[in-house]
Amino acid sequence: MTLAEVLDDHFFTRYRNLLDAEDAAFDELEHAFEEGDRAHFEQDLAAWKQAIEKKLAYLQRAGVEVHLTIRV
């Protein structure tokens, strides 16, 4: 099955849901950071990482290659 065959309405709906979950998790992380709430920051950081991992796993299962470069 080609990637073009995988990219349908169902794919994009699920991907949009994963993006929304990642965005919501990041918002919580940002609030904890701004408030200086270390305990919640650690929890929210873990939730954000999990949301990203779910999104990347979904893309991988669909046959989309993702290459990340992190620069600090």
Determine the Cα–Cα distance for residues 71 and 51; give it in Å rounded to an integer. Answer: 21
pLDDT for position 66: 85
One digit per residue, the tens of pLDDT, for the chain of length 72 reads 677 777 888 999 999 999 999 999 999 999 999 999 999 999 999 999 999 999 999 999 988 888 878 787
pLDDT for position 1: 63
pTM (2 d.p.)? 0.82
pLDDT for position 22: 97
Determine the Cα–Cα distance for residues 1 and 40; give it in Å rounded to an integer. Answer: 43
Q: Which two tokens stand for residue 34?
A: 């701004």
